[in-house]
C-alpha cells in the first residue's frame, strides 16, 4: 500500500515520511518497536530501584509545580502499601491537571536517583486496569509512538506477500515460527513467550544470513598484499618505545605480523582489557605497513579518542619518518583539503580519524592496513565500508576494549581470528572498587579531598538520562555544585554533551595537563582519555550502567603506579558486588550477560533494528549453535537449489541493510 493511503496522519507527515525514504507501508513493518512494556509485570513501590524501567500501581498523595532554569517541573508523590516515590516531569505543565489527588494510576517509566532519593523520571500514566504487553516505538518524522502503532496495524492489514526466506524444513527442524507469524507477534504480541519466540526467529534469520555472507566473503576474499612483516622490520619502532612490551603484547604482535606476511588479508580481532596496551600493537603494525610502502588508517569511535591516538602516533611514529595526519571534525577547510590530497597522492602514511574516514570520499594511494579501535561503538557496517577502500583487500585489525564472550565475537566478527592480550603492563596496581551508599558520600568526599591535596586527580561520571539532554546537564551541574561545596579548595571542571567540541577538547586537555583536579562528566565516551595521574573514579548512580560499561570506566584509573580507587554510588547489590570482587573483564562480561541479557552488554538496547538486531540475541549460546548448524547444512551442499537461493538472498538482504559491503 502506498504510504499516502495510511489513515490518521496528515499530508505534512506523509511527505516527511516519503522524504525519509518510506514510500510503501510494508516498510513500517520492518521498523521494530524500540522496547516493550509488560503492564502485568508490576513492581511494588518499595522495591523500585534506580536504573530500572518499571511499571507500578500507585495512588497520588500530593502534587506540586516548580520552575528550574525557566522550565516547569511537575512533581507528584505517589504511594502504595510498600512505600512512596516522587514522579518528576519536565515541561509538561498539563500534567498537574491530569493528576487528581487520591487517584490510583498505573505508572511506567525509568527510575533514577537524585540526591540519594529515587524518582520516577517522566513516567507514562495509564488507567489502573491496563494489561498486556505493549510495544513502544521510537518516534519517526515527528509521528508519536502511539500514532505509529496504529499505522503499523494498517500496514499489516494491507501487507503484500510476507514471503518466508527460510526453507520450511529449516523452520521445522529448529521449531521456529513463520516469518509472517513472527512479524505479527513482534508488533502485536499476545504474551511474553510468544514475543520471545518471534524475536528468536527473526534473530535466527538475521544471524544466519550474516553468517552465510561472512562465510561466502571469506571463501572468496580478494587477495591482499603480502608484506614483509616480522620483528626485525619493526625493530626501530620497538627500540624507540619508552617501555618493554609485555609477553602478551609480543605474542599478539607476532600473530598479527605473520598474518600480514600472507596475501590472504589479515582479519584479526584483538581483545584485551582496558589498559592492557592495545594501541601500541596497532602502532607497531602501522609502522610495519609504512616500512612496506603501504598506508595505514586507524579509526577511533570518538573525536576525543581519535585526537589522543593522533597525538600519540605523532609522538611515536614521526621521529621514525612516518607522516601522520588526522581526519576529525576539527580539521576543516584548507587543512582538510590538504589532508585528503596527501592521502590520495601517498605523501601521508598514516591517518587517524573518526567516522569521517569512511563517510567521506577519502581516496588512498595504497591502503594496506586498517585498524579499528572499536570500543563497541561501531557496527559491522562501518568496518566493511572502510575495508572496501583498499584496492587490494587491506589487512584489517579490530581492537576491542571490553572482552567479548566467544559466542558474541563470532556473530559480530564472523570468521575473524581472535587474539587476546591477557596481561597488563608491569607495575599496575589493581583498582580497588567500593560500593558507596548515599549516607557515605561525605566520607568519600573527604577521601577525595585528601587525594587531591596530594596531587592526584579524580573523574566523576554521571549517567545519561535518555529522556532529556537538558536534564543530563542539570544533574551533572548539580553534582558539580555539590562537590564544590564539599571541597571548596579544589579545581573542578564540568564536561557535558551540550558543550561545543572545542570547549570539550579544552577541558580535557586542561585535565590531562593537571590544570584541574576533578573532572565531572556526563557522558561515558568522553572519558576515553589517558591520564595516569587520575587515581579515583566516582560513578554516580552506578546501577544505571551495564557492568561492562562500569568496567570500562574503571579502566580509566589505575594507569599510573599509584593505588587507584573506583567508587560506585549505589546500594549494595549482586551487580555491584561483582564489580568489587573482580577486575577481570571476561568474568564481568559473562556476568553481565547472565544478569542483563546480551543487548545491554553491547551498550545497545534490544531494539531489533539493523545491526543491533543482529547483536540482540547473540549472547544466547544455544541459538548461536543452532545458527551454526543451519549454516553448515547450507554449505554442506552449496550448489543445491535451496542453498543457492538462500545464499543469494543473504547477499542481497545484507547489502540492502548496509551490513555487508562486498569487497570486490
Minimum distance, C-beta of residue 242 to ligand ADP, in the bound complex (Å): 8
Nearer to ligand ADP, 249 or 606 (CB): 249
Could you say whether residue 44 binds ligand ADP (CB under 6 A)? no
Q: How many chain residues are in contact with ligand ADP, going by CB under 6 A?
A: 17
Could you say whether residue 301 binds ligand ADP (CB under 6 A)? no
Minimum distance, C-beta of residue 429 to ligand ADP, in the bound complex (Å): 13
Q: Is 536 helix (H, G, I), strand (E, B) or coil?
A: strand
| CA-closest candidate to residue 459, choices 547, 530, 518 | 518
Nearer to ligand ADP, 127 or 242 (CB): 242
Nearer to ligand ADP, 241 or 341 (CB): 241
Q: Which three cell numbers stand for residue 370?
A: 586498517
> Residues with Cβ < 8 Å from 434, sequence gap 6 or more?
565, 566, 567, 568, 580
Do residues 556 and 459 make contact, with C-beta atoms less than 8 angstroms apart? yes
What 8-state DSSP symbol labels residue 297? E
Nearer to ligand ADP, 255 or 607 (CB): 255
Minimum distance, C-beta of residue 248 to ligand ADP, in the bound complex (Å): 9
Minimum distance, C-beta of residue 94 to ligand ADP, in the bound complex (Å): 48
Part in contact with ligand ADP (CB under 6 A); list of ranges 38-46, 273-281, 435-443, 608-616: 273-281
Other CB atoms closer than 10 Å to residue 260's CB: what's the count? 28
> Residues with Cβ < 8 Å from 505, sequence gap 6 or more?
303, 304, 307, 330
C-alpha 430/C-alpha 419 separation (Å) is 23
Which residue is listed with cell 502499601? Answer: 81
Part in contact with ligand ADP (CB under 6 A); list of ranges 144-152, 229-237, 238-246, 504-512: 238-246
Nearer to ligand ADP, 469 or 509 (CB): 509
Could you say whether residue 13 binds ligand ADP (CB under 6 A)? no
Could you say whether residue 50 binds ligand ADP (CB under 6 A)? no
Nearer to ligand ADP, 273 or 543 (CB): 273
Q: Is 187 helix (H, G, I), strand (E, B) or coil?
A: helix
C-alpha 187/C-alpha 199 separation (Å) is 11
Could you say whether residue 275 binds ligand ADP (CB under 6 A)? yes
Q: Which three cell numbers stand for residue 260?
A: 600480514
Among residues 52, 279, 372, 433, the one that binds ligand ADP under rule CB under 6 A: 279
C-alpha 396/C-alpha 378 separation (Å) is 14
Compose the 504-523 pattern: x for residues touching ligand ADP by CB under 6 A, - for all others.
Answer: --------------------
Minimum distance, C-beta of residue 100 to ligand ADP, in the bound complex (Å): 54
Compose the 526-565 pattern: x for residues touching ligand ADP by CB under 6 A, - for all others.
Answer: ----x----------------------------x------
Minimum distance, C-beta of residue 400 to ligand ADP, in the bound complex (Å): 10
Q: What is the DSSP string of 47-87?
A: G--TT-EEEEEEEEEEEEEEEETTEEEEEEEEEETTEEEEE
Nearer to ligand ADP, 277 or 619 (CB): 277
Among residues 202, 253, 256, 274, the one that binds ligand ADP under rule CB under 6 A: 274
- State the residue number with the nearest CB to ligand ADP: 277
Nearer to ligand ADP, 154 or 533 (CB): 533
Minimum distance, C-beta of residue 584 to ligand ADP, in the bound complex (Å): 15
Minimum distance, C-beta of residue 594 to ligand ADP, in the bound complex (Å): 25
Part in contact with ligand ADP (CB under 6 A); list of ranges 65-73, 253-261, 272-280, 507-515: 272-280
Do residues 565 and 557 make contact, with C-beta atoms less than 8 angstroms apart? yes
Minimum distance, C-beta of residue 244 to ligand ADP, in the bound complex (Å): 6
Nearer to ligand ADP, 274 or 350 (CB): 274
Q: What is the DSSP string of 127-154?
A: -TT--SEEEEPPPBTTB-HHHHHHHHHH
Nearer to ligand ADP, 184 or 378 (CB): 378
Q: Which three cell numbers stand for residue 431?
A: 583498582
Nearer to ligand ADP, 206 or 422 (CB): 422
Minimum distance, C-beta of residue 373 to ligand ADP, in the bound complex (Å): 7
Q: 231-240 vs 247-260: helix axis angle to the nearest 10?
A: 140
Span 401-420, contacts to ligand ADP by CB under 6 A: 401
Which residue is listed with cell 549494595? Answer: 572
**How many CA atoms, within 13 angstroms, populate the side-chain half-sphere of residue 500?**
4
Do residues 260 and 395 make contact, with C-beta atoms less than 8 angstroms apart? yes
Do residues 151 and 9 make contact, with C-beta atoms less than 8 angstroms apart? yes
Nearer to ligand ADP, 45 or 234 (CB): 234
Nearer to ligand ADP, 280 or 483 (CB): 280
C-alpha 614/C-alpha 209 separation (Å) is 10
Q: Is 495 helix (H, G, I), strand (E, B) or coil?
A: strand
Nearer to ligand ADP, 313 or 393 (CB): 313
Q: Which three cell numbers stand for residue 16?
A: 516527511
Quick one: which H or E segment has residue 288? helix 278-291
Compose the 424-463 pattern: x for residues touching ligand ADP by CB under 6 A, - for all others.
Answer: -x--------------------------------------
Minimum distance, C-beta of residue 549 to ligand ADP, in the bound complex (Å): 15
Span 241-270, contacts to ligand ADP by CB under 6 A: 243-246, 249
Could you say whether residue 278 binds ligand ADP (CB under 6 A)? yes
Kindly list the strands in the beta sheet with 367-373, ordered across the sheet, starting from the edge strand earlier in the chain: 324-327, 350-353, 295-299, 367-373, 395-400, 267-272, 417-421
C-alpha 413/C-alpha 398 separation (Å) is 9
> Residues with Cβ < 8 Å from 243, sequence gap 6 or more?
425
Among residues 277, 390, 414, 585, the one that binds ligand ADP under rule CB under 6 A: 277
Nearer to ligand ADP, 26 or 423 (CB): 423
Residue 80 burial class via C-beta count within 10 angstroms: exposed 0-12, middle 13-18, buried 19 and up = middle
Other CB atoms closer than 10 Å to residue 455's CB: what's the count? 11
Could you say whether residue 377 binds ligand ADP (CB under 6 A)? no
Could you say whether residue 280 binds ligand ADP (CB under 6 A)? yes
Sign, CA dihedral 337-342-344-349, equals negative
What 8-state DSSP symbol labels residue 313? H
Minimum distance, C-beta of residue 417 to ligand ADP, in the bound complex (Å): 18
By the criterion CB under 6 A, which residues form the site for ligand ADP? 243-246, 249, 272, 274-280, 401, 425, 530, 559
Amino acid at each position: 500500500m502506498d504510504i499516502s493511503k495510511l489513515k490518521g496522519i496528515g499530508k505534512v507527515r506523509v511527505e516527511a515520511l516519503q522524504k525519509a525514504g518510506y514510500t510503501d507501508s510494508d516498510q513500517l513493518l520492518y521498523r521494530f518497536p524500540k522496547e516493550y512494556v509488560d503492564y502485568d509485570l508490576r513492581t511494588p513501590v518499595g522495591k523500585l530501584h534506580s536504573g530500572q524501567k518499571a511499571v507500578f500501581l500507585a495512588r497520588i498523595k500530593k502534587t506540586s509545580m516548580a520552575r528550574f532554569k525557566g522550565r516547569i517541573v511537575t512533581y507528584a508523590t505517589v504511594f502504595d502499601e510498600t512505600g512512596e516515590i516522587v514522579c518528576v516531569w519536565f515541561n509538561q505543565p498539563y500534567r498537574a491537571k491530569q493528576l487528581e489527588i487520591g487517584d490510583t494510576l498505573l505508572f511506567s517509566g525509568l527510575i533514577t536517583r537524585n540526591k540519594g532519593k529515587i524518582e520516577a523520571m517522566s513516567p507514562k500514566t495509564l488507567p489502573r486496569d491496563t494489561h498486556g504487553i505493549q510495544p513502544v516505538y521510537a518516534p519517526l518524522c515527528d509521528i508519536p509512538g502511539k500514532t505509529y502503532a496504529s499505522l503499523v496495524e494498517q500496514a499489516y492489514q494491507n501487507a503484500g506477500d510476507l514471503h518466508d526466506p527460510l526453507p520450511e524444513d529449516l523452520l521445522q527442524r529448529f521449531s521456529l515460527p513463520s516469518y509472517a507469524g513472527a512479524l505479527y507477534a513482534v508488533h502485536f504480541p499476545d504474551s511474553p513467550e510468544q514475543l520471545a519466540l518471534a524475536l528468536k526467529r527473526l534473530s535466527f534469520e538475521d544471524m544466519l544470513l550474516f553468517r552465510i555472507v561472512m562465510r561466502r566473503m571469506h571463501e572468496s576474499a580478494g587477495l591482499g598484499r603480502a608484506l614483509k612483516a616480522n620483528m626485525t622490520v619493526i625493530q626501530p619502532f620497538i627500540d624507540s618505545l619508552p617501555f618493554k612490551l609485555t609477553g602478551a603484547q609480543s605474542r599478539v604482535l607476532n600473530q598479527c605480523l605473520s598474518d600480514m606476511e600472507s596475501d590472504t588479508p589479515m582479519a584479526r580481532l584483538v581483545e584485551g582489557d582496558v589498559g592492557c596496551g592495545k594501541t601500541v600493537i596497532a602502532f607497531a603494525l602501522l609502522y610495519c605497513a609504512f616500512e612496506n610502502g603501504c598506508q595505514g588508517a586507524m579509526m577511533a569511535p570518538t573525536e576525543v579518542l581519535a585526537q589522543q591516538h593522533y597525538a600519540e602516533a605523532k609522538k611515536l611514529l614521526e621521529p621514525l619518518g612516518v607522516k601522520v595526519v588526522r581526519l576529525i571534525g576539527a580539521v576543516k577547510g584548507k587543512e582538510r583539503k590538504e589532508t585528503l590530497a596527501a592521502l590520495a597522492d601517498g605523501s601521508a602514511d598514516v591517518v587517524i580519524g573518526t567516522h569521517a574516514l569512511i563517510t567521506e570520499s577519502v581516496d588512498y594511494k595504497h591502503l594496506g592496513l586498517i585498524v579499528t579501535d572499536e570500543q563497541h561503538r561501531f557496527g559491522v557496517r562501518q568496518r566493511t565500508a572502510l575495508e572496501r577502500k583498499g584496492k587490494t583487500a587491506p589487512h584489517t585489525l579490530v581492537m576491542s576494549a571490553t572482552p567479548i564472550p566467544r559466542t558474541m565475537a563470532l556473530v559480530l566478527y564472523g570468521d575473524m581470528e581472535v587474539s587476546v592480550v591477557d596481561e597488563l603492563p608491569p607495575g599496575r596496581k589493581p583498582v580497588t572498587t567500593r560500593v558507596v551508599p548515599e549516607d557515605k558520600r561525605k566520607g568519600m568526599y573527604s577521601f577525595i579531598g585528601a587525594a587531591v591535596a596530594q596531587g592526584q586527580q579524580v573523574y566523576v561520571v554521571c549517567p545519561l538520562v535518555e529522556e532529556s539532554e537538558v536534564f543530563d546537564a542539570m544533574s551533572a551541574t548539580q553534582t558539580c555544585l555539590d562537590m564544590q561545596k564539599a571541597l571548596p579548595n579544589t579545581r573542578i571542571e564540568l564536561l557535558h554533551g551540550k558543550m561545543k567540541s572545542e570547549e570539550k577538547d579544552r577541558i580535557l586537555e586542561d585535565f590531562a595537563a593537571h590544570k584541574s583536579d576533578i573532572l565531572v562528566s556526563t557522558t561515558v565516551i568522553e572519558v576515553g582519555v589517558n591520564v595516569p595521574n587520575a587515581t579515583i573514579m566516582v560513578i554516580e548512580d552506578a546501577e544505571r550502567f551495564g557492568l561492562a560499561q562500569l568496567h570500562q570506566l574503571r579502566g580509566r584509573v589505575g594507569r599510573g603506579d599509584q593505588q587507584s580507587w573506583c567508587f560506585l554510588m549505589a546500594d549494595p547489590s549482586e551487580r555491584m558486588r561483582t564489580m568489587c570482587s573482580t577486575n577481570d573483564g571476561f568474568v564481568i562480561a559473562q556476568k553481565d550477560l547472565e544478569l542483563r541479557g546480551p543487548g545491554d552488554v553491547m551498550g545497545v538496547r534490544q531494539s531489533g533494528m539493523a545491526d543491533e538486531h543482529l547483536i540482540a540475541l547473540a549472547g544466547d549460546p544455544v541459538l548461536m549453535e543452532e545458527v551454526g548448524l543451519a549454516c553448515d547444512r547450507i554449505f554442506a551442499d552449496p550448489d543445491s537449489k535451496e542453498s543457492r537461493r538462500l545464499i543469494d538472498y543473504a547477499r542481497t538482504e545484507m547489502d540492502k541493510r548496509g551490513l555487508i559491503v562486498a569487497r570486490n
